[in-house]
């Protein structure tokens, strides 16, 4: 009889495999809280059914690094020894979990360490879900991490380039009998690889963030060199999706000294935002220094000037404080050491 990783089963498939939805509920009440059902006292019949039909986790948490600010970065080894990273960010009494969708990334953003790895492979849905399970386990075991609250697809990888597996994982996350996470507490952040991929967002229940990084084509080409579509074409695709979903867009912009932090850059962004329906909210992320480039964050005065232009145009605009950069857990810094050390060459 073939066995499947437990997190690869939908609730209905698990109920069928274990011959009862009550049994599937018992398993999920453990998984949801970060407990391993293969190590739990479940009774003889259920334990036998579990061991006969399903396999435990192929993934494991290999490293944990906590920054002084409390941000916790997990290194997660996959079955083939590649690694991804998951970051737990405590803020305002809640923990946000930043998860990865690929090992490496093909988009090649010039300020991003993951982009310098190139794409190694897509994650399977159960590998994405393991990150949620591992994060919940950490929170359960921790003395100082606040309760789980949000998920952001903002770790390693471009989620729209692994759409089918990401969609499967999200379906499992929001199912009321599995992880039971509210869809609006999940945000999928995308660089927007193409209008046709952006259109697929219509089928997801989550919030959407566009990592735009620059709203003028020449500058954006420099920061996201794989982009093949104009800002106007991508904006129109997002507008179409937002009309359907009847919601606003989160905009993420990595702000870099003397590259995309001028007043004229802010005005370009305002022009772009005016084409979008709903209430757009902008999050400015001063760049984190990474090996291999000389990008630096703007001065506080530059950031304030950029922000003021957006405020004056009527847009909510926040500046993300740097979290976890002491442990290379900050945005744009995720790169797995196993790849650096050459596991791929083995
Ligand atoms: S910023 Fe995001 S899309 Fe760009 S290379 Fe890094 S992981 Fe990929």
- Separation of 183 CA from ligand 1 center, angstroms? 23
Ligand 1 atom showing the smallest separation from residue 157 Cα: 7
Give the pLDDT confidence score for residue 332 in this predicted structure.
54
Q: How confident is the model at residue 328 (pLDDT cuts 50, 70, 90)?
A: low
Instruction: Yes or no: say if 198 and 192 are a contact pair by the CB < 8 Å rule.
Output: yes
Catalytically annotated residue among 98, 272, 317, 331 = 331
User: Token pair of 7, please?
Assistant: 């997190």
For CA atoms 123, 228, 280, 110, give the dihedral sign.
Answer: positive
User: Token pair of 85, please?
Assistant: 């990273």
For ligand 1, whether the C-beta of 193 sits within 6 Å is no
Q: What is the pLDDT of residues 202-217, one digit of tens each?
A: 999 999 999 999 999 9
For ligand 1, whether the C-beta of 330 sits within 6 Å is no
Give the pLDDT confidence score for residue 338 in this predicted structure.
45
Q: What is the pLDDT of residues 79-95, one digit of tens each?
A: 999 999 999 999 999 99
- List, in sequence order, the alpha helices (H) in the chain: 11-17, 21-31, 44-53, 113-117, 125-141, 163-174, 195-199, 217-223, 231-245, 263-273, 300-312, 337-340
For ligand 1, whether the C-beta of 190 sits within 6 Å is no
Catalytically annotated residue among 59, 85, 127, 327 = 85
ipTM of the complex: 0.99
Give the pLDDT confidence score for residue 326 in this predicted structure.
53
For ligand 1, whether the C-beta of 109 sits within 6 Å is yes
Rounded to 5 degrees, φ, ψ at 190 are -130, 150
Q: Over 90: is that where the pLDDT of 299 sits?
A: yes
Which H or E run includes 83? Answer: strand 83-91
Distance from C-alpha of 317 to C-alpha of 177, rounded to nearest angstrom: 36
Distance from C-alpha of 148 to C-alpha of 137, rounded to nearest angstrom: 10
User: Token pair of 159, please?
Assistant: 């989620």
% of the chain surpassing 70 pLDDT? 92
Give the pLDDT confidence score for residue 229 in this predicted structure.
97
Q: Over 50: is that where the pLDDT of 257 sits?
A: yes
Q: Over 70: is that where the pLDDT of 241 sits?
A: yes
Q: Which of 85, 112, 113 to mutate to test the pocket of ligand 1 (most atoms within 8 A of CB)?
A: 112
Q: Which CATH superfamily is domain 59-345 in?
A: Aldolase class I (3.20.20.70)
Q: What is the pLDDT of residues 123-149, one digit of tens each?
A: 999 999 999 999 999 999 998 999 999
Give the pLDDT confidence score for residue 294 in this predicted structure.
87
Q: Over 80: is that where the pLDDT of 122 sits?
A: yes
More confident residue, 340 or 80: 80
Give the pLDDT confidence score for residue 324 in this predicted structure.
55
- Separation of 184 CA from ligand 1 center, angstroms? 23
Q: 148, 240, 261: which is closest to 197 by C-alpha?
A: 240
Q: How far is CA 198 from the centre of its chain?
A: 16
- Separation of 278 CA from ligand 1 center, angstroms? 26
Give the pLDDT confidence score for residue 321 in this predicted structure.
74
For ligand 1, whether the C-beta of 191 sits within 6 Å is yes
216 is catalytic: no
Distance from C-alpha of 214 to C-alpha of 288, rounded to nearest angstrom: 16
Tallying the residues shown for the chain, one arrives at 346
Q: Over 80: is that where the pLDDT of 250 sits?
A: yes
Q: Which of 123, 152, 158 to mutate to test the pocket of ligand 1 (most atoms within 8 A of CB)?
A: 158
Give the pLDDT confidence score for residue 336 in this predicted structure.
57
Distance from C-alpha of 174 to C-alpha of 172, rounded to nearest angstrom: 6
Q: Over 50: is that where the pLDDT of 186 sits?
A: yes
Which H or E run includes 151? Answer: strand 148-153
Instruction: Yes or no: say if 288 and 298 are a contact pair by the CB < 8 Å rule.
Output: no
Give the pLDDT confidence score for residue 340 in this predicted structure.
39
- Separation of 115 CA from ligand 1 center, angstroms? 5
């Amino acid at each position: 009889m073939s066995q499947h990783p437990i997190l690869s089963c939908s609730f209905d498939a698990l109920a069928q495999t274990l011959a009862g939805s009550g049994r599937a509920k018992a398993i999920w009440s453990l998984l949801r809280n970060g407990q391993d059902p293969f190590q739990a006292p479940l009774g003889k019949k259920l334990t036998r059914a579990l061991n006969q039909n399903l396999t435990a986790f192929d993934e494991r948490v290999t490293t944990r690094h906590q920054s002084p600010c409390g941000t916790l970065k997990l290194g997660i080894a996959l079955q083939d020894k590649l690694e991804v990273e998951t970051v737990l960010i405590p803020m305002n009494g809640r923990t946000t979990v930043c998860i990865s969708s690929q090992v490496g990334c093909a988009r090649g953003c010039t300020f991003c360490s993951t982009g310098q790895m190139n794409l190694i492979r897509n994650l399977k849905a159960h590998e994405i879900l393991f990150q949620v399970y591992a994060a919940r386990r950490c929170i359960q075991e921790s003395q100082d991490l606040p309760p789980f609250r949000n998920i952001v697809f903002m770790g390693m990888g471009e989620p729209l380039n692994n759409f089918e597996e990401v969609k499967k994982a999200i379906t499992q996350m929001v199912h009321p009998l599995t992880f039971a996470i509210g869809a609006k507490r999940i945000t999928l952040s995308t660089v927007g690889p193409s209008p046709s991929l952006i259109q697929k967002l219509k089928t997801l229940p989550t919030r959407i963030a566009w990592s735009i990084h620059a709203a003028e084509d020449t500058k954006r080409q420099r920061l996201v060199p794989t982009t093949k579509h104009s800002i106007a074409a991508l904006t129109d695709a997002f507008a179409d999706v937002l009309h359907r979903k009847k919601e606003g867009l989160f905009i993420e912009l990595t702000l870099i000294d003397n590259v995309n932090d001028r007043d004229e850059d802010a005005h370009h962004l305002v022009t772009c935002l005016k084409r979008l329906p709903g209430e757009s909210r902008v999050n400015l992320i001063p760049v984190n220094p990474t090996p291999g480039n000389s990008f630096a964050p703007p001065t506080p005065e530059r950031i304030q000037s950029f922000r003021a232009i957006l405020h004056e145009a009527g847009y909510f605009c926040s500046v993300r404080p740097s979290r976890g950069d002491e442990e290379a857990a900050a945005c744009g810094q995720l790169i797995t050491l196993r790849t650096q050390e050459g596991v791929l060459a083995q």
